[in-house]
Amino acid sequence: MAADLEAEVQAIDKNLLECSAEEIAVKWLQANDLQKEVYQHLAYYVPKIYCRGPNPAPQREDMLAQHVLLGPMEWYLCGEDPAFGFPKLEQANKPSHLCGRVFKVGEPTYSCRDCAVDPTCVLCMECFLGSIHREHRYRMTTSGGGGFCDCGDTEAWKEGPYCQKHELNTSETAEEEDPLVHLPEDMVARAYNIFAITFKYAVDILTWEKENELPGLEMIEKSDTYYCMLFNDEVHTYEQVIYTLQKAVNCTQKEAIGFATTVDRDGRRSVRYGDFQYCDQAKSVIVRNTSRQTKPLKVQVMHSSIVAHQSFGLKLLTWLGSVIGYSDGLRRILCQVGLQEGPDGENSSLVDKLMLYDSKLWKGARNVYHQLFMSSLLMDLKYKKLFAIRFARNYERLQSDFMKDDHDREFSIADLSIQIFTVPSLARMLITEENLMTTIIKTFMDHLRHRDIQGRFQFERYTALQAFKFRRVQSLILDLKYVLISKPTEWSDDLRCKFLEGFDAFLELLKCMQGMDPITRQVGQHIEMEPEWEAAFTLQMKLTLVISMMQDWCALDEKVMIEAYKKCLTVLMQCHSGFTDGEQPIVLSMCGHSVETIRYCVSQEKVSIHLPVSRLLAGLHVLLSKTEVAYKFPELLPLSELSPPMLIEHPLRCLVLCAQVHAGMWRRNGFSLVNQIYYYHNVKCRREMFDKDIVMLQTGVSMMDPNHFLMIMLSRFELYQIFSTPDYGKRFSTENTNKDVVQQNNTLIEEMLYLIIMIVGERFSPGIGQVNATDEIKREIIHQLSIRPMAHSELVKALPEDENRETGMESVIEEVACFKKPGLTGRGLYELKPECAKNFNLYFYHFSRAEQSKAEEAQRKLKRQNREDTALPPPALPPFCPLFASLVNILQSDVMLCIMGTILQWAVEHNGYAWSESMLQRVLHLIGMALQEEKQHLENLSEENVVTFTFTQKISKPGEAPSNSPSILAMLETLQNAPHLEVHKDMIRWILKTFNTIKKLRESSSSSPVVETEGNIMEESSRDKDKAERKRKAEIARLRREKIMAQMSEMQRHFINENKELFQQTLEELDTSTSGVHENSPVISDAKLTALGPEQTRVAEPRQVVMCILCQEEQEVKVDSRAMVLAAFIQRSTVLSKNRNKITPDPDTEKYDPLFMHPDLSCGTHTGSCGHIMHAHCWQRYFDAVQAKEQRRQQRLRVHTSYDVENGEFLCPLCECLSNTVIPLLPPPRVLFNRLDFSSQPNLTQWIKTVSQQVKALHLLRNEDCASHSGHSEKMDQLQLPEGFRPDFKLKNPYSESIKEMLTTFGTATYKVGLKVHPNEEDPRVPIMCWGSCAYTIQTIERILADEDKPLFGHLPCRQDDCLTSLTRFAAAHWTVSSLSAVQGHFCTLLASLVPNEKNGNLPCILDIDMFHLLVSLVLSFPAIHCQDFSGVSLGTGDLHLFHLVTMAHIIQILLTSSTEENGMDQENTNSEEEVAVLTLYKFLCQCTGSALKEISSGWHLWRNLKAGIMPFLRCSALFFHYLNGVPAPSEIQVNGANQFEHLCSYLSLPNNLTCLFQENSEILNPLIESWCNNNEVKRYLEGKRHAISYARESNKLIDLPDDYSCLINQASNFSCPKSGGDKSRAPTLCLVCGTMLCSQSYCCQTELEGEDVGACTAHTYTCGSGVGIFLRVRECQVLFLAGKTKGCFYPPPYLDDYGETDQGLRRGNPLHLCKERFKKIQKLWQQHSITEEIGHAQEANQTLVGIDWQHL
């Protein structure tokens, strides 16, 4: 079947290819009815090209379509071969000065914060880099796709609208020129024709709804071929779709994933092809399977020819888009065609048709035509305007469609509003001509239908679906914001009129919000269900900016302003026309004043937090106060219509509500109220909520008698009784009052005083006080920084943003703060400048309670540090604007003085809990404010003004009869000495001082001297201060002690609970370090130190006593005692790898032999340790307990831990470092196997001969063993055993049982982890892995030291030093617990790689052996042979010869691979001994290789190369022998000095001239060298047929990162998923080790790993980092650490903004630059193999990290 189809397809293709585009075009040119001709052509050919089978074949389809369908159209259009026609057009075209680049998903975009008209104006990277804005303050974001570059749009930029590239195109453009004049007339006509036909065809077919016929096209052959088409929705998840498809169309999971991915991307995909019934069946299964969810997946069975025409329709739209790219003229023609009204009148143009059908189209189709709109209509200024009008007229319809549409807004045509409404001229035009503001607001109101009986919005319970719908509705607010974002510079009458019309609509909207969600205090029972509140607040939050912008617009024109003010007032009166209804009027009177008001209790009646109309009016009032009229002719303003008591009523109720909530009176109303109060004050809302309520009260007070205001206020606070009744306060002294009520009243009094402080003190908004906008911001910043120094982003968060997302902070921050740069961690901080501290106001109205007390503490501390008194008096304030000027009188009003007096009286009487210190503190603050006010008045006294503010006089007067209370001043003087008011003394003293100053000021005007009293006060005060200070210190110390005690007991409890089984005895002093052990190592100063060989310096190993961290017992490390162990972590590592693509054979299935390490070091085994010591048995018990606990935990609930117990992982009980095994501590092992060296020691030649004989003997014996068990073979007799060699000798293992057990444990663990196999202690590869791990770990440490330019010895951290000692000693002792013959076998094979024998063929050539690994394995396996050698040769001799042999092999290796460029460097003219010798050796090598080796004549270069190449090996060897034999390092290599090479050679018992080794042993070496060079692989290398590693190997580093982060974003945006054909990756992730970009966290790139589906990152770690990976998630700007499949954590990225902060998630968009130090830190973590450990610590600290499915990333 498939083959048939294939053949058929090919036959058709052939036919089709014979069509001639030119001929068809000629036919069309002559046609009378062109549309008919073209339609016939399409009807015939389209179904032959598209949709020929179950799967789309895009390449074939495109090719054929171009040839048969588009080709003729292009010929027709050009009237000639398009290959000539189009370039001609392009040449004649004047390039556009608009960039218009449409953004891809994830592409970086830039907006200039200084010049962009609004934040939606963006540039593409290319334009940005060529613009002036790169020197400005800019913001960078990644595009969500869609939208285009605004370069060249003069309306988008205040300055620099063109980049360099697009500036060129502006020079001679006559703006209004008609682009059609550049086109020949006949072409214009043809373009009209063909565009009209093709555009109409595409629109018709895309909007076609019938299933079995075509628009205007005949169905040529109606076959029974259908598609079952699955459509995308945003309701069903990937998993649901995949699962359903597998069931419905019987496909594999892979196919299903493919379908789902395409459906998600394109919006639809056929999932089955065949006859109708076959497809219909699949459809019903899909529908049935998904109908249980909210709604079934959309599936449609479609005839193949319809699908074919639709595919071509889309192709045509894309084609149109590319054709108009050749010429502005063609673009204009297409625009004309698109907007031409059709026969059906309104809305019948093609563009209208598409727009109105938008919500019914699938995603892919939408994208295509949106793109076409953007490149045509939006790029042509004339048609952009016409299109904008069409868009505005259809606005309501489009929005309604969008509400029902289940696609995200970015896929909806409604989203184009951002492109249209943000163009200021268009927005203005649409407002005046299309009444757009009103349209948007009305549309919005239409979608919020639910109202209560008063006509206010009422929201249902806020379900997910509700939230979804509601979010859509909110996008309308966004549109309103776009329309308002650029403010008019001049007003026409039309604009005024239409704006005010819009304002009316807006007021209607606010009216529906005024008083919504009213609440009533719950008494008795707690509320049963939390009432809905979120929706209302969301609405308020979204509208906040719009409300502010409305006010900004009004402020621009006085006429509009006054009109708007009147309208707002009218609406407010409508809202509260009946605010007194039902309420009885009452009369309040105090201190000889009386006022009429209503009886209303917040605590008993309904109250609402939502008062947007009142608040808008308050805002307008402030703006009005700024106008010139307000200064000069306030009588012209509509102020007389205001009724102050009506204005203040509702805001006051709202503030009283807050006070009562704070006093705990609304506890039973639940969290919803608490949340509402929170948001009411929150920075996101407060500007149009809380702040405006304060303004409204200020407005009210300034227009009424302050005594009246205060009485009403007392009454609303339900405190009137207390203050109006003399001696009412005394009721508290009687015992039968309810304590709670008293407490409540106290809080209410405090809150009320606070409110008065705010009303008088908050005058930093322009219009209220005489300040400008920057003063306001400065004050906000000062108060934030008074709490503590803050990072830039913290400050930004604390300040309100305007519609351009600006806080205005940058312009003023320098004046009030200093910036402190960050270190390696943390972030940069702003600190308050000391001179700004005087502006601190303790009762700043934007402080939360917590902030207030922190700020108070911080400021007092500061004052103490500066040795000042700790009073925090109110700061001097700017004067009020005239409209608010009378407000200050509230401070000296009779009622106020009465309140102050009453409270001071309570304080003097000091009776129990009837008053509070905060109450007093606030009264003192108010008195302070009044004094400041009076002082300022006096200082600014001008001739004609009389000071009417006489607070000082009033407080000096005693109360009148009958109460006869003392004056306020007198009471203050009394309180000054009250012992219970220690804390307030400084403040009272400040008040009295200021009082005196004012008195002096007053008297100075009447020129009488003042008696100086300050001296006394000062003296007394310093004594008091001392005392107070001491008391405070004692108190602080006590508190700290208590806190520490509490912490400690908490920790202990926790610890004991966690480890109950283990710690029943003691728990003291857990921390002991092992470092003490090494302190008393012997110092051998003068003698020459030698690390190995017969000459080795003998050192007496000190007694080593260590303490177990678990049982605290001390023990000596001895061969025969109980084992002590170090917690250790073994991991596979590719950190040193020079070949990351190498695939190592699976050690389980193939018999993988790790005996030789390849010099590419592609995968090694690293061992690390935290250095903490335990008894082996203590550790065993601990580990068992951990295991048992884990099992219990897993049974209870499936919790993950940061460690994998099943894999032997645990956390070090002391430092919680991740570990997976333990290393035993051992005494130096070599001493145990050393025998007397009685005979003279052989030289290298002799020694090799002897050992070779021994090896041969062993081989024979081995063969003997296998060959026959029965009978003696004659070979045995032939065998001449070398002298003193006793192969039958069995060494007695010197170690205690417990140590032996630990040797096996660690060995097996190394084997298991290193080879990723199941543990098997018998496997002969176990010892190999142990030696390998020892060698590899030493190599990594040598590299780290070299990279950091640290000396080899003396600079390792203790834990690494301990680890290397134990690891080396362990590796040297491990052979004692493995099979002797296996180890002997390993030795033989290893030796054979250098000293060939006939038994071991097929070994790697010397180019393919890492010599240090070879050295370690040889030296550590040698004792297995040596122990049977009784000839008197010492072990040291063997070590030395082995070392020399390997060194020589390494020299040959280096010389063979050396790539010396002779002329690369200046040669020094020396002819040293070394140079001559190495040249000789090199010549000998040339001989051996048959002159295949490149000729080098410079001994100087060779010697330099050799020295550099061998250095790492020598350094590693020095470390190795140092740890093996315990010989201290000479002091010269403990520092970075000269002659390191010579000192190393001496320590290693090597001649300084290394080539001497060859000369001394030439007898045996020459044949060896020849044999090495004769190897086939070496020959192939020399012939250039293969590669080899050359020396010295360079250290691996993480990849280089660009300085500018946007380069990475750009790189990532160009990256497409490697598996789903050109699709943009959603989470592009960069491997920092090898630089590969990956498509992470996505189905498309999941692969199977060990039977589990894993994401691209996890899969990559297995090839690139043997399980460990370091990535940069580019879109998130986040570093990701991964280890294994289950472990991972995020790490701060090494990119910082100018404020020293990272931006994880790229939320702030500040430009980011690479911080090299932080990147180095990450690199170091990697080089030190600490990534896994880092993850462990991160997961322990943050449990949520444990639950993440890291393997899916």
Q: Which residues bind Zn ion (CB under 5 A)?
A: 99, 101, 112, 114-115, 124, 127, 133, 136, 149, 151, 163, 166, 1108, 1110-1111, 1170, 1172, 1175, 1178, 1212, 1214-1215, 1217, 1617, 1619, 1631, 1633-1634, 1636, 1639, 1642, 1644-1645, 1664
CB-based contacts of 358, cutoff 8 Å, min separation 6: 366, 398, 401, 405, 412, 413, 414
Q: Which of 1154, 1129, 1163 is nearest to 1417 (CA)?
A: 1154
Q: Shortest gap between Cβ of 308 and Zn ion (angstroms)?
A: 29
By three-state DSSP, how is residue 138 classified?
Answer: strand
Name which of 1601 and 1639 has its Cβ closer to Zn ion. 1639
Distance, in Å, from the CA atom of 82 to the CA atom of 20, rounded to the nearest integer, reads: 13
By three-state DSSP, how is residue 444 classified?
Answer: helix
Q: Shortest gap between Cβ of 907 and Zn ion (angstroms)?
A: 59
Q: Shortest gap between Cβ of 157 and Zn ion (angstroms)?
A: 7
1048: how many CB neighbours lie within 10 A of its CB? 10
Name which of 51 and 156 has its Cβ closer to Zn ion. 156
Name which of 64 and 1214 has its Cβ closer to Zn ion. 1214
Q: Shortest gap between Cβ of 1182 and Zn ion (angstroms)?
A: 9
Distance, in Å, from the CA atom of 1403 to the CA atom of 1434, rounded to the nearest integer, reads: 29
Q: Shortest gap between Cβ of 1271 and Zn ion (angstroms)?
A: 55
Q: Shortest gap between Cβ of 815 and Zn ion (angstroms)?
A: 23
Q: Shortest gap between Cβ of 152 and Zn ion (angstroms)?
A: 6
CB of 387 within 8 A of CB of 332? no
Q: Shortest gap between Cβ of 148 and Zn ion (angstroms)?
A: 8
Name which of 1569 and 1631 has its Cβ closer to Zn ion. 1631
Q: Shortest gap between Cβ of 1531 and Zn ion (angstroms)?
A: 31
Tell me the backbone φ, ψ of residue 1243, rounded to 5 degrees: -85, 180
Name which of 133 and 298 has its Cβ closer to Zn ion. 133
Name which of 151 and 484 has its Cβ closer to Zn ion. 151
Name which of 102 and 1435 has its Cβ closer to Zn ion. 102
Q: Shortest gap between Cβ of 1050 and Zn ion (angstroms)?
A: 22
Determine the straight-line distance between the first and last CA of the chain, rounded to whole angstroms: 41
Name which of 359 and 1219 has its Cβ closer to Zn ion. 1219
CB of 276 within 8 A of CB of 1634? no
Name which of 556 and 1111 has its Cβ closer to Zn ion. 1111
Cis peptide before 392 (omega within 30 of 0): no
Q: Which of 1311, 1333, 1135, 1126 is nearest to 1729 (CA)?
A: 1135
**Helix 612-626 with 644-662: angle, nearest 10 deg:** 120
Name which of 380 and 869 has its Cβ closer to Zn ion. 380
Name which of 101 and 1504 has its Cβ closer to Zn ion. 101
Distance, in Å, from the CA atom of 110 to the CA atom of 124, rounded to the nearest integer, reads: 7
Name which of 1114 and 1468 has its Cβ closer to Zn ion. 1114
CB-based contacts of 360, cutoff 8 Å, min separation 6: 207
Q: Shortest gap between Cβ of 364 and Zn ion (angstroms)?
A: 19
CB of 1496 within 8 A of CB of 1462? yes
Q: Shortest gap between Cβ of 1051 and Zn ion (angstroms)?
A: 17
Q: Let me know the angle formed at the C-alpha of 1539 by 1533 and 1544, rounded to the nearest 5 degrees.
A: 50
Supply the DSSP string of 1378-1415, one letter for each residue. Answer: S-HHHHHHHHHHHHHTTS--SS--SPPPGGGS-HHHHH
By three-state DSSP, how is residue 1332 classified?
Answer: helix
Tell me the backbone φ, ψ of residue 1045, rounded to 5 degrees: -60, -45
Name which of 112 and 992 has its Cβ closer to Zn ion. 112
E strand or H helix that includes residue 1167: strand 1164-1175
Q: Shortest gap between Cβ of 890 and Zn ion (angstroms)?
A: 47
Q: Which of 1465, 1422, 1471 is nearest to 1445 (CA)?
A: 1422
Q: Shortest gap between Cβ of 437 and Zn ion (angstroms)?
A: 29
Q: Shortest gap between Cβ of 378 and Zn ion (angstroms)?
A: 14
Name which of 1253 and 1647 has its Cβ closer to Zn ion. 1647
Name which of 167 and 705 has its Cβ closer to Zn ion. 167
476: which 2 tokens? 């309308």
Distance, in Å, from the CA atom of 1024 to the CA atom of 1032, rounded to the nearest integer, reads: 12
What secondary structure letter does DSSP report for 1095?
T
H helices within 1548-1697, ranges in order?
Answer: 1556-1560, 1562-1573, 1576-1582, 1605-1613, 1656-1664
Q: Which of 522, 514, 855, 847 is nearest to 660 (CA)?
A: 522
* Strand order across the 1124-1133 sheet: 1164-1175, 1124-1133, 1221-1224
CB of 1448 within 8 A of CB of 1354? no
Cis peptide before 54 (omega within 30 of 0): no
E strand or H helix that includes residue 1687: strand 1687-1691
By three-state DSSP, how is residue 1268 classified?
Answer: coil
CA dihedral 1475, 1479, 1480, 1481 (to 10 degrees): 100
Q: Shortest gap between Cβ of 134 and Zn ion (angstroms)?
A: 9
Name which of 165 and 1235 has its Cβ closer to Zn ion. 165
The partner residues of 1649 in beta bridges, in order of sequence, read 1652
Q: Which of 892, 891, 919, 893 is nearest to 906 (CA)?
A: 919
Q: Shortest gap between Cβ of 109 and Zn ion (angstroms)?
A: 9
Tell me the backbone φ, ψ of residue 1129, rounded to 5 degrees: -130, 120
Q: Shortest gap between Cβ of 158 and Zn ion (angstroms)?
A: 8
Name which of 697 and 1664 has its Cβ closer to Zn ion. 1664
Name which of 136 and 1200 has its Cβ closer to Zn ion. 136
